[in-house]
């Protein structure tokens, strides 16, 4: 092998080492969504690290009866730079209408444009946040007291109560149950329909 081939081999090896250092891996967790013990859909939570950024994608598809049949596709995308939330996009697509909330960090505050079911909010948030609803699926909020509720563009509170964490999101009290630091179940309260998210 001549010097040029050795140099080329070194460059190729260095490139793959660099690439593996940039993309640190992906985690995926699947959940069943149910109402009163009856399955109505599924949820997939994905976490991906690329360099200093971490991306969360939470996607669910459900179908249920609420004064007529409702089909709901829900998608949350949250982006973190190191530990801070810098961007979030929550979208609900239904056969009764579509809703979307956009949150963007801008120097020293978050710009908020929230349109949810019977709810709108565009009040900016003047402090950085380091936890959001999407992160619950991958991290137990051991030392967390507040977080971003992506769907509402609001700072919500969370506290430990007995064997679960209680999150107050716009007056709805959601419960998160962890087993060995991993989210096992969440009881979610919604203005349309309360539901349970259970790890498969």
Return phi, psi of residue 11, to 5°: -65, -45
Residue 21 has pLDDT above 80, yes or no: no
What's the pLDDT at 25?
76
What's the pLDDT at 48?
96
Residue 147 has pLDDT above 80, yes or no: yes
Mean pLDDT check: name the lowest of 68-82, 95-109, 169-183: 68-82
What's the pLDDT at 13?
43
For the segment 64-100, what is each residue's pLDDT rounded down to a tens digit? 765 567 778 899 999 999 999 999 999 998 877 899 9
Q: Is 68 left (phi over 0), alpha (psi -120 to 50) or beta?
A: left
pTM confidence score: 0.83
CB 58 within 8 A of CB 137: yes
Residue 168 has pLDDT above 60, yes or no: yes
Q: What are the residues whose beta carbons fall under 8 Å from the beta carbon of 82, sequence distance 6 or more?
A: 52
* Mean pLDDT, all residues of the chain: 86
CB 114 within 8 A of CB 152: yes
Residue 7 has pLDDT above 60, yes or no: no
The Cβ of residue 80 has, within 10 Å, a number of other Cβ atoms equal to 23
Residue 142 has pLDDT above 80, yes or no: yes
Q: How confident is the model at residue 12 (pLDDT cuts 50, 70, 90)?
A: very low
Q: What are the residues whose beta carbons fall under 8 Å from the beta carbon of 163, sequence distance 6 or more?
A: 177
Number of residues that make up the chain? 200
Distances (CA, A) of 42 to 29, 64, 72, 110, 163: 11, 12, 11, 31, 25
Rg (CA), the chain: 20
């Amino acid at each position: 092998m001549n010097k040029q081939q050795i140099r080329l081999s070194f460059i190729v090896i260095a490139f793959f080492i660099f690439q593996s250092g940039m993309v640190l891996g992906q985690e995926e967790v699947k959940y069943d969504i149910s109402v009163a013990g009856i399955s109505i859909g599924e949820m997939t939570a994905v976490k991906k690290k690329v360099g200093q950024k971490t991306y969360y994608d939470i996607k669910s598809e459900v179908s249920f009866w609420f004064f007529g049949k409702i089909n709901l596709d829900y998608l949350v995308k949250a982006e973190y730079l190191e530990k801070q939330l810098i961007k979030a996009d929550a979208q609900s697509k239904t056969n009764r209408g579509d809703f979307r909330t956009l949150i963007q960090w801008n120097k020293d505050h978050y710009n908020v444009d929230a349109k949810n079911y019977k709810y709108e909010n565009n009040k900016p948030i003047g402090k950085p946040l380091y936890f959001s609803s999407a992160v619950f699926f991958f991290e137990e909020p051991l030392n967390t007291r507040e977080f971003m509720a992506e769907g509402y563009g609001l700072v919500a509170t969370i506290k430990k109560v007995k064997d679960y964490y209680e999150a107050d999101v716009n007056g709805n009290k959601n419960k998160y149950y962890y087993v060995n630091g991993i989210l096992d179940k969440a009881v979610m309260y919604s203005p349309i329909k309360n539901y349970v998210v259970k790890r498969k």
